[in-house]
Amino acid sequence: MGFSKDFIWGAASAAYQIEGAYNEDGKGLSIWDVHSRKAGRVKYSETGDVACDHYHRYKEDIALFKEIGLKYYRLSISWTRILPDGTGKINEKGIKFYSDLIDELLAAGIEPMVTLHHWDYPYELYRKGGWLNDESPLWFEEYTKIVVEALSDRVKYWMTINEPQCIIGNGYFHGAHAPFLVTCDRDMIIMSHNILLAHGRAVKCIRKYAKQPPLVTFVPMGPAYIPKDNTAEAIEEARRTTMSMKQTLFYSITWWSDPVYLGKYPDEAYEIFGEDMIHPSKEDMEIISQPLDFNAVNIYFSRGLRNPNHYATNEYQGVPRNTLNWVVDERVMYWAPKFLYERYGKPILIAENGFADLDWIDRNGKICDMKRIDYIARYVKSLMEASDDGIPIMGYLYWSSTDNFEWSEGYDKRFGLIYVDYNTLSRTIKESGHWYKTLIESNGDILN
């Protein structure tokens, strides 16, 4: 059967990871601009100050996107490029940059998909308590309104907040991402609730002010546990474990998606967190559970039950991994959409999926990233099987369009379809980029 004729093929990126120009044209500082500077937080003390210099080279990049054949491009907006202090005075040069970027994409025949927040939280708002401040949902709503009024005449697809699991889990539970803190459950619960309220307020704001009918969603991570066999019992066990909070806590699917799609926190949360758990008002949950048009999820790897003395249940001796040590298991691209659709009932968009490797230009001037091609083929083929089994799959966005700043890992780990030489900032389409073009042109049929 394959994918539908209107299947979304594209690639994704994030502002802090590619734009650079961190202090140009009136932009304010984000928590990544500030907190990444302390030695030991990012490998080799690297920062996103310059990154890929997309801010100055976006026309060159978009020309390469067109050459690859991208139909859609998911970008994120830098909050502090629009509102340098997070609220208050608007930076018109920031709005102009994104307006010009959208125009360039449309001129190239590429549909923009806008993410409002991809981790680069305003530093001035962080100083006021950040997500722990109960005013934070209103701050996000103010920012959303400005962006929607400026861009919604040309932007139809809107994504509110990317991977809230990493905002809280990496930023405040493990201390591995900005602001590099380790805090208590109660704080993380309050911050989570405020992030969800910010999402809900943003959805209402988009629907109120958009200049054309919008398509709106939220973007959590969505990895699944894989059934040990095809029996009904094994599938049910994998489904139950995928949706449980016990192993993953703030990284779980249900902690973030149940409030959004089902209008309530998981029952498990009250068992796990006890008296730390909040009891939100009916009004709060109505805001959080604003109707969405589709379920956008980022899926890279399967989950496995941890074993301190052995491999996790999704691992084994010699298991394929990428350079971030993530297990390569394409079956997750079948089971995750299946479990998510069965629980939440919304069409699925794969908003991120990709392969990190150590790429280089060979003696012939090419980047022969055959493992990345194999990875994409495996995962997209598995996604196609989900589609064939009746799961409504909207599309697939590869992460990422170009190599970029990979957060605390710095620049070594490369995900891009386009190679960036960080010394010269020159770009070269990788073999995976050329192959991805043929995949798009065939609507995935070359995998059959």
Percent of the chain with pLDDT over 90: 98
67 is catalytic: no
- The answer, yes or no, to whether residue 1 has pLDDT greater than 80, is no
Contact between 377 and 447 (Cβ < 8 Å): yes
This prediction has a pTM of 0.98
* Residue 307 binned pLDDT confidence (cut-offs 50, 70, 90): confident
Give me the mean pLDDT over the 397-402 stretch: 98
For residue range 232-258, list pLDDT tens digits in order.
Answer: 999 999 999 999 999 999 999 999 999
Give me the mean pLDDT over the 320-334 stretch: 97
- The answer, yes or no, to whether residue 308 has pLDDT greater than 90, is no
Mean pLDDT of the chain: 97
163 is catalytic: yes
Contact between 113 and 70 (Cβ < 8 Å): no
Q: Which of 124, 163, 330, 406 is catalytic?
A: 163
Burial class (CB within 10 angstroms; exposed 0-12, middle 13-18, buried 19+) of 432: buried
Q: What six digits make up the tokens of 284?
A: 């709060």
Residue 326 phi, psi (nearest 5) = -80, 135
Amino acid at the residue 141: E
User: For residues 234 and 228, what is the distance between their CA atoms, to the nearest angstrom?
Assistant: 6
Percent of the chain with pLDDT over 70: 100
For residue range 102-150, list pLDDT tens digits in order.
Answer: 999 999 999 999 999 999 999 999 999 999 999 999 999 999 999 999 9
Q: Tokens 């620049």 identify what position?
A: 411
Contact between 16 and 405 (Cβ < 8 Å): yes
User: For residues 256 and 298, what is the distance between their CA atoms, to the nearest angstrom?
Assistant: 13
- Going from the C-alpha of 386 to that of each of 11, 138, 336, 374, the distances in angstroms are 20, 39, 9, 19
Contact between 40 and 129 (Cβ < 8 Å): no
For residue 306, the model assigns a pLDDT of 87
Annotate 223-254 with DSSP letters as a single string.
--BPPSSSSHHHHHHHHHHHT-STTTGGG-HH
User: For residues 139 and 87, what is the distance between their CA atoms, to the nearest angstrom?
Assistant: 6
Q: Which of 352, 406, 409, 441 is catalytic?
A: 352
For residue 309, the model assigns a pLDDT of 87
For residue range 177-209, list pLDDT tens digits in order.
Answer: 999 999 999 999 999 999 999 999 999 999 999
63: part of which helix (H) or strand (E)?
helix 54-68
For residue 136, the model assigns a pLDDT of 98
